[in-house]
Structure 1
Amino acid sequence: MKKPLSPLQSPDDVDQLQPYQIKLMQHQEEPAHQLVQKINQIIANSSATTLMLQEIAQLLGVIFQVDCCCLVPVTSEESTSEATTANWCADEYLGLPHPNEIFSMEQLLMDSPVVQCAAEPLTIEDISIIQNSLVIGCQYLPLPIKAVLAIPTRLGGNNNGVISLIKFQPYDWSESEKQLLKVLESSCAIAFSRVAQAQLIAHQQQYLQKSDQHQSLIKQLTLLSRSNLELNQMLQLVIASTAESLQADRGLLILLKYTDPLFRTRPKKQVPRAKATVHAEWNRATQISGTSKLDTLDESFLLSECGLCQRVFIDSGKPVIIDDYTEQNDTYPAASLFAIEELPAALLMPLESQAKVLGFLVLQQTVARNWQPAELNLVEMVCAQVSNAIIQSQTLRQVQTLVDERTAKLQSSLELQAKLHERTRQYVEQLRKLNELKDEFLSNMSDRLRYPLTNMLMSIRNLRLPGIAPERQVRYLDILEQECTKEINLINDLLTLQKLESHQEAPQLETIDLNNRVKDIAVSFERKLAEKGLRISVELPQEPLTLQTELESFDRILQELLTNVCKYSEHDTLVHLQASHQVDQLIDQVIIKVTNIGRAISEEEATYIFDKFRRGKGRWTPGTGLGLALVKSLVQHLNGAITVESVSISDSQLSEICFTLTLPQFSESKPYSESD
């Protein structure tokens, strides 16, 4: 049994790893689809994404008989989180010490065939992704890497991870190993996608938690501003709540007392004469130790003695952010009470009122900190509240006006936070729906691909039986041909949809006789409709009607609509096919309606009935869900429009469903927009 190299998320995860009792074998002894099934089972049964990647790495390491297997997700950021990187290493290498010198990944990539990719040829993007993944996932391997077989995984056309198989001895990778790794790439891409989704959800949860903390702080400050507490008591509660909420190591509230009689008329960026006094302090170390002694409370200093505070005036009242004060020059010396040696990182936010600096709110850290814009905005709001409280203690008349203004701003901020919270909730709900659509798509496609292949495999095995009769051979060959045709048609439909959506080609127009063409298509479907117990009536203009269109696309549209009618019409009913000509806003148009009797189409179903791989709820008729999507794309390709309408039939549970196709009669007609 192999053991994982990298640590798991919790100690309990070690017991959750399922041992793979797999006998070391050649790859051909275990079909690739069984390995894909095992990986899919791991994805479905694993609740923790790190544990899931660890199990997959262990499975691949055992199957390929390598010394190490590394799975590294590729995210939008430059670096990949260590928490989601999975390494597996063979038992004999787990106890070895790490190498002292750093292994050069660039040299590894240039030394072919040390690094090989299962998806040849290597692109520049593949080389970069593989190099970054090896640096991230293999930097602590016990031995130098001698051979690597790697492949970037792709989902939705984008790289989302790298699978690396590593040997500590020179090794020539076989083509069968490369092919097997290529087969497993799509399943591993799904695993990496789950990791990315889990990271996104965790990020959103962290954001919501921080947002809730900020909202709680704002509410506390609002209550404090409305309370009858003495000013210093309120300031102490404010700095304690703010510093603790923002996880600062120390918080100070410093108020200024000006001694400059000409302060209001002084030139800009001139530092006034003032005395600064600490009115409130919060210290994390004091809270942890349980003591209440605060050394700097009521301590004072002159503004001219502190270059750090002077920067607020020089920078026109803007906040001052110091990542590491020990790396600054001596131009702005700090007062001794700031304890710069112990707390070198600082945020100094001015308390302002009517362009007058009343004091400072100071948050300090023992290590450098990157302040987020939302946190700076929150500190600004706190400072605004404190400034209001200070003005209130000085003059009741002025503070009343300021309180109303700040309260309105606070309400706006709360509403903004609520909107952000709601948008986040909607985004999470959208992700859930997208995940359901993905599962529905995978299930549908796997069924449509699996059943024909199963029938083909059965026919091939029966053809190999000795003494099989010639007529049975012909029957099995017919089955093979039919199922191959189904697979080819499915692939051709997907390629046609892709080509139509990319607008690669303009329609090849020609003039056709609409009456004769509609009659021919209706006649070709009479037998198929009769087998379903259906009859068809055709209503055409009395005068010959020509149409400039692409013949192949026009035929395919009517064929798909009539095929849809065959599937969903009620037994022993009439299908009505009508063609007509009309002029709308000086544009000649051809209107074709296909009407049948069947189960009603709800308003909700009508919104997505023309989407790919979407089918009406409760409709169990076999199909790929591509027919009507192909019809819509072909109609838009011909500059036309198509709609569906469902009208209930009185005294019946059935409805009359009508598909209306509108095409310009001539190529010079104005194309239809998506809104039409």
Structure 2
Amino acid sequence: MQHHHPCLETMKMDCQSRLKMEGEVQPLNSEKPIEWIGSAPSIASAPALQSSLATTPSDLYSAVPHQTSTVHLPQHLTQTLLTSQTLHEALFSFAQILGEAFATDCCLIWPLAKGLPQVANVGPINEPKNLQHTYCYFTATFQYSPQLFAIFDHPLIQGNLTKAEPIVIDDLQAFSQRSGSSNSSSNGSSNGSSNGSSSKSDKSVKASGKTATTAQPVIPSHVRAVLMLNTQFQGRLNGMLVLIRSQPYDWKETDVQLLKSLSPQVAVALAQNQLEQQMEQQARYQNLINQLTVAIRNSWELDQIFQLAVEGSAAALQVDRGLVVLLKYTDPLHKSRSHNIEAKASMVAEWLEPLSETPRGDRVREERTGVDQSVWASSCPLCRQVLTSSEPIAISFFPDVTPEKIQVSEATPAPFFDLDRFPALLLAPLENQGTVLGSFVLQQQQHRLWTSEEIAFVKLVAAQLSTAIIQVRTLQHVQALVQERTAQLQRSLDVQAKLYEKTRQQVEQLRRLHEEREEFLSTVSHELRTPLTSMTLAIRMLRQADLSAERRTRYLDILEQQCVQETQLINDLLALRKLETSTSTVQLQKLDIRYLIRDTAQSIAETLAERNLTLELDLPPKPLNLYTEPDSLSRILMELLANARKYADVDTVIQLRVFHELTPQANQVVIALQNVGAGILPDELPYIFDKFRRGQGVTQQAIQGTGLGLALVKRLVEYLGGAIGASSHPLEHQSSWQTRFTVTLPQCPEGLIQSIT
């Protein structure tokens, strides 16, 4: 049972539809072969370009004594496509059919590796990587020569390769002889006569005998008449049709038009063939990635994984060389990308394309000696680029075609890159979480334009290698660490066994003591450290008969101070209770908040000066009116300033900023108070406005307070229709924190306009 490729089957279906539309009588599913005029053409296999060049053309193709009829030529091409096993066979048959139909000595169907736009600069057209396969037909009398393909470097042809119209040359040798012998000739036909020039299409590119000022390529003398036409698929150049005669020939207009009418069929076949090759290439890519994944999963040695990667990638991309370069840092703790990191770059794996063949048929690789395999990364521009960028480096030909980011003039690339012999380079960094491990490199001896698919594939291989390096290094580090710790633990097991029970008992005892202490401190703090206790002590001391006047005054001051504190505590509790239960309406007044802020700042300035604190005001230059309760707002500001005074570091600045915030959603006044000092831990922020809630450590620091100030502030802000928030974070390189309270108040509370007085 024969198996056909899906692309070929699709083309066959299209061709069947076309034949039906053209009225073909013979059914396409018939097994009866096409009746040829003359002997049936032989279909050769589709070897690669290198194989076809190394094989004698007469061995590949059989000359057919009779020319194929041009009347049924389109049907012949279609039927050939239907009966061919592969697209390669079909294209080889196309070349033979066209060569016989036009009675030429040679026919070439030359596909490009990528479908390039008609106006694009395709570069040297005869580069091996720009051409995938050449489908050729030669007559038995045509002498094959590798210099045949030098015709594409001829000035008449090279300058018109990307043009849509045919290139028509009656005698290539006559043109070359005239341009080489005289630079003054500027008129006349290239074949030495004008016969046939008027019969060709005006749009055809006709050799005009213009003087060539550059060196002519060496073209075989039996290459005389040339008819060349680009094939295009979906507006993009994908190949060329070339007809060659060994004698001068005046190409007719009918020849040009017939070739143009047949080029779409060839273009479609080339496009499908290129798609098939792309699918096969993707399969090769995926196969290598799968092999690397399995190797990493099975914990292969790193050298084996490297060798698999370089050999597999070189085979998939058909490059001449592959290598892996690893970096070793002088300071292992600094591996991130930087210009100032010192590292040693060493080549640890290499693969070279075999260069020669032994009498037994074995391929021999070149032995390379005397090359420095390790250099400082700072001395190599390619290594420096790897250290500073995560993007692959693609160089089509060093140093002529080099990215601007690589300054080759400053330093010479490392010797192991050998860019003199392998100037085309594709380098992908090996990295893990910002750490540069090395680079994966593929190189080519000839000029090469690296495609986006090839770059993406190399990045995937580099990612696999990075994973393998990290896995192996991590495993080695873990194994060494485990061995070291195992030895240490073995020595301490006996001692730990003896101390385990005693330690457990001590821990349990400490836990109980800690719980008892916390409960005791909580009780003592609540019961003994209150203003009432201080007042009782002061009264007791005042009852002593022999108390001096100085001490009596001191105890009276303490009594008065604690009495004020007790009164304030009671007032705060009453105010909180009133705010929590009262349903009274806010009595709004219009005021300029700037004056209220200045008055409050002036009243607390003396208190702030006791701790060398400075209050810095940032007020708007213009009046900022606010509808609010002046007494409630003043109490909010006083409580926030008092709180900032308690926790701010000495000799610091307390910043108070007021500004107007107008958005489509809100029209509000924002008051922001900021100080530097003791901070609020993140897990305490959600509870900082709760009653009797104080931060950890404030009692030990002897910071006075009842834990009611911020709770009262929150209730007053909500009473005025606003909101309050707090944030606190440590400052860099300091032990202090920056704490900020932000109060937002509506400029005129919604629904309360009727309360304005």
Please give the TM-score of this superposition, normalised by the length of structure 2.
0.37
Please give the TM-score of this superposition, normalised by the length of structure 1.
0.41
**Larger gyration radius, structure 1 or structure 2:** 2
Q: Which has the higher helix share?
A: 1
